[in-house]
Structure 1
């Protein structure tokens, strides 16, 4: 009798586990249904709002310079942040052959992409080629020294094909280009 109870229990346990595995497989086979039932997409759509004071405190803690600007038309208080605009100009060493220049260009573009991805640069775009100023990068860093260091890490600058000229620049925090 004892054996019968043990065997019955083992069979029931096996059947019970098998049923759970089947349910688990169904969930794995339908990952989209799980995502659709989730509240996560709705949460991500809600904007994160911070007060002007919180924005300024966060920037100050990171070492950024800011000031308040009062818009004459709307009377809104706008947080202005100091950025650094780096102008890349034609450098004195432009003797690289076509292949070397092409390789430097790829390294230059990779450097700028990395600056953007790391959050150090907000925008970097070229000017027309008939100008001595080749491109501009707006660095979103707290100090001139940091912007200068990042700009001089550019492979084109290191090789002398470009030279850097940096100027402090003020813009409203969160402002963007018009569409």
Structure 2
């Protein structure tokens, strides 16, 4: 029995030591700038944009609300509060997502309440705490370098 336990303990300690090996690519300054924890992650709030109770038949009015919705997305992204936004493309009840760089549901609710589509009742939002890579904060700045056109224009 002792012959079996000693190799098993050595194997466990070896695995533990490997698990504790620091990441050779770790960038402390970047991790700090992005608010990353030890796993490179951080807390966000995700919003599921759902079809709201208000149905607007006037196409011009609906287009106006959509344009204002897109401008609000740009404003929140420029402020660093919105790190990811986009529609789902399957025509379902959940129309899209936002990922907010805020700590609480209440902060995210205050931001969603600035959205003209929410104000008009065209969309509703379900807010959920979300844990993901701190690198998401880099998406908005990178996107600006990729887009030839702006949806809100």
Q: What TM-score range do you get, normalising by the shorter chain?
A: 0.5 to 0.7
Instruction: Encode CA deviations 1:114-148: one digit per residue, 9 max, x unaligned.
Output: 01011000111011152101110110112211111
Aligned residue for 2:107, secondary structure, equals helix
TM-score under structure 2 length normalisation? 0.65
| Number of residue-to-residue matches in the alignment | 112
| Distance in 2 of aligned mates of 1:49 and 1:129 | 40
User: Looking at both structures, which has the greater relative contact order when contacts are Cα pairs under 8 Å and sequence separation is at least 6?
Assistant: 2
Query: Structure 1: which 5+ runs fail to align?
Result: 1-47, 60-65, 69-77
| Distance in 1 of aligned mates of 2:94 and 2:30 | 38
Other-structure match for 1:145: 106
**Aligned-CA RMSD value:** 2.5
Instruction: Encode CA deviations 1:37-80: one digit per residue, 9 max, x unaligned.
Output: xxxxxxxxxxx95175xx29x84xxxxxx754xxxxxxxxx232
TM-score under structure 1 length normalisation? 0.56
Deviation at 1:95, TM superposition (A): 2.7
Q: In the TM superposition, what are the counterparts of 1:51-66 in structure 2 within 5 Å?
A: 55=32, 59=35
Does residue 128 in structure 1 map to residue 89 in structure 2?
yes
| Distance in 1 of aligned mates of 2:53 and 2:59 | 16
Moved over 3 A (4+): none
Query: Structure 2: which 5+ runs fail to align?
Result: 1-26, 140-153
| Distance in 2 of aligned mates of 1:149 and 1:96 | 28
